[in-house]
């Protein structure tokens, strides 16, 4: 991410960005077609734009990944249960 000085730097530097008079300090950004993800200098993840979770979000909001982790673990466990059940049913039918 640029540091505003047009100098190369091997280390991330905090860049202050203002959205609607709210100041953020970011050290990384990842831009997609319709949404952008940022990492703040205190390692929090923010995002804005439009994707599967947010719609037309013009100011970055914090991405609460801890809430998503439980969902992903539960989803994975359900897939394992379905695969085991399918395997068990196929074995008993033969």
Q: Which residues pair with 24 in a beta bridge?
A: 17
Judge whether residue 90 has pLDDT over 80.
no
The pLDDT assigned to 37 comes to: 87
Cα 58 from Cα 18, distance rounded (Å): 12
Judge whether residue 57 has pLDDT over 80.
yes
Q: What is the mean pLDDT of residues 12-16?
A: 73
Cα 4 from Cα 6, distance rounded (Å): 6
Judge whether residue 88 has pLDDT over 80.
no
Judge whether residue 74 has pLDDT over 80.
no
Cα 3 from Cα 29, distance rounded (Å): 12
pTM: 0.56
Residue bearing the bigger pLDDT, 83 or 54: 54
């Amino acid at each position: 991410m640029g540091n505003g000085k047009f100098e190369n730097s091997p280390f991330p530097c905090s860049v202050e960005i203002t959205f609607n008079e709210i100041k953020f300090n970011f050290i990384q950004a990842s831009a997609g077609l319709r949404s952008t993800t940022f990492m703040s200098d205190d390692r929090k993840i923010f995002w804005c734009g439009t994707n599967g979770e947010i719609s037309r979000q013009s100011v970055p909001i914090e991405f609460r990944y801890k809430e998503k982790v439980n969902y992903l673990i539960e989803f994975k466990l359900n897939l394992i249960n379905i695969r085991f059940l399918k395997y068990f049913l196929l074995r008993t039918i033969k």
